[in-house]
Amino acid sequence: MSCDLIFVLDAPSTREMTPVLKRLAGTVRWAKVGLELFTAEGPDSVRAVADLGFQVFLDLKLHDIPNTVARAVESAARLPIGMLTIHAAGGRGMMEAAARAQRQSAPGLLLLGVTVLTSLGEADLRETGVGGTPASQVVRLGRLAVESGLRGLVCSPLELPQLREQLPPGVQLVTPGIRPAGAAGNDQTRVMTPAEAARAGADFIVVGRPILQARDPAEAAMAIVEELVAAV
């Protein structure tokens, strides 16, 4: 089993990120385009990152009625992306529609169900009417997503062991909330180090600020990659 690094493009423009991406080329294979960048520059942001030689993880966390999300998946599938996210909380009908659209439009695209955001704790869930722990909600939504036809999930690294026990072995698990030892947690509350996440069963880890804010981003990324290789 291997674990790969996804670098987060935590900036409002691809122009701002291009120098860092060029330095990371050859060390990092995947780059994540999220809401901030996609809202600012749209599909051109995805094409620009792909043109630099990266596999693109488009993290839009789609959440709407089934037909709307299915159409959005079809539109996104025309872009040079390898992964796309939808919210598992959108329910079975929405996820089934999205999975059908993905299979028909881009069979190789990995459609990921986002379970519980890593910024949320038990008290946050309780305020939204969700009982139980984040872990129990992650497992509940993870099972539903797989039953609905999704082949991958986004989850906190803390839930990796439970998901590996209860889901089919082929399900791909992508984990944000990764912080190298000594790094600040920022707005993440359920975190692990890269090695801990790899040993727990992550297929991909998502890292942004610990690389972007390092004095030498390429060196920071290489250290994480080496940590992942050693862990698995």
What's the half-sphere exposure (Cβ side, CA atoms, 13 Å) at 44?
A: 7
Give tens-digit pLDDT for 19-75.
Answer: 999 999 999 999 999 999 999 999 999 999 999 999 999 999 999 999 999 999 999
| Distance in angstroms (rounded) separating the CA atoms of residues 16 and 151 | 33
Token pair for 53: 């030689």
Reduce the DSSP state of residue 206 to 3 states and report it.
strand
22 flagged as catalytic: no
Provide the domain count of the chain.
1
Give tens-digit pLDDT for 20-32.
Answer: 999 999 999 999 9
Token pair for 61: 């966390």
Closest CA relative to residue 34, chosen from 225, 215, 206, 180: 206
Which of 61, 179, 190, 199 is labelled catalytic? 61
| Distance in angstroms (rounded) separating the CA atoms of residues 53 and 30 | 9
CATH of the domain at 64: 3.20.20.70
How far, in Å, are 30, 31, 75, 208 from residue 22 at the CA level?
13, 12, 28, 16
Q: Model-level pTM? A: 0.93
Q: Which domain holds residue 28?
A: 4-231
- Per-residue pLDDT at 181: 66
Reduce the DSSP state of residue 16 to 3 states and report it.
helix
